[in-house]
Amino acid sequence: DAGVIQSPRHEVTEMGQEVTLRCKPISGHNSLFWYRQTMMRGLELLIYFNNNVPIDDSGMPEDRFSAKMPNASFSTLKIQPSEPRDSAVYFCASSLEGGGWETQYFGPGTRLLVL
Amino acid sequence: AQSVAQPEDQVNVAEGNPLTVKCTYSVSGNPYLFWYVQYPNRGLQFLLKYITGDNLVKGSYGFEAEFNKSQTSFHLKKPSALVSDSALYFCAVRGPRDDKIIFGKGTRLHILP
């Protein structure tokens, strides 16, 4: 099993540019989560999907952030335009929804630096 | 609303000594409780979880955690620490009527050789 795959692993961009982060969940999992981790704020849940449908996006910081899941094997998190305060590590995780006790499997993360 | 607290930002333990990483929670109803570990430059890895049943849960790498309902705690423990246990540890909780897991801020564990 390849686990959760994220790309790119590292991204350096300039303020104002569009950034797209990609995630491939574990095959067969039907829940997908996007998290952001910073030293100041810790691990924050941005949005999560169940069966490709966004269930809760209350953690998305503002309209510059958007996420899609066009099919069960792919999701994107887009930031447009990017700002220096968006610099963080972004994690994608997936799970097999089983009523609340499911284990989440995390990808290796994308380290984003916005200059 | 559900919440989870890890009162210690950092815990230092000598190698070979027992370790405890603390976690307390607040939910309505019976909780689902989790511990995850994060090694440098890696994603979080699942360690163990409590859903129901025996209050003492055993997990990966020799770790265990004890669910204490009266104290609303779920402390992570290991009888003998290894230097390789040095990492960032996250406690997480989900209430029975909540639809997402909430993670604590994390506790950095340093095992001193």
pLDDT tens digits, residue range B55-89? Answer: 999 999 999 999 999 999 999 999 999 999 999 99
* Res A40 pLDDT > 90: no
More confident residue, A68 or A99: A68
The dihedral of CA A35, A38, A43, A44: what is its sign?
negative
Whether residue A43 and residue B34 make contact (CB cut-off 8 A), yes or no, is no
Whether residue A43 and residue B43 make contact (CB cut-off 8 A), yes or no, is no
Whether residue B45 and residue A106 make contact (CB cut-off 8 A), yes or no, is yes
Question: Is A104 in CB contact (< 8 Å) with chain B?
Answer: yes
Q: CB-CB: which of A56, A103, A108 is closest to B42? A: A108
CA A21/CA B66 separation, integer angstroms: 38
8 Å CB contact between B37 and B89:
yes
Chain A CB contacts of B104 below 8 Å: 42
pLDDT for residue A99: 53
Chain A CB contacts of B103 below 8 Å: 42-43, 45
pLDDT for residue A62: 85
Q: CB-CB: which of A91, A100, A108 is closest to B94? A: A100
pLDDT tens column, B11-45: 999 999 999 999 999 998 889 999 999 998 889 99
CA B67/CA B49 separation, integer angstroms: 10
pLDDT for residue B110: 97
Q: Virtual CA dihedral for A89, A90, A96, A97, nearest 10 degrees?
A: 110
Question: Is A57 in CB contact (< 8 Å) with chain B?
Answer: no
- The strand pairing partners of B36, in sequence order, are B46, B90
For A81-85, B30-34, B88-92, which range has the lowest pLDDT when averaged over its residues?
B30-34
Q: Closest chain A residue to B34 measured between Cα atoms?
A: A103
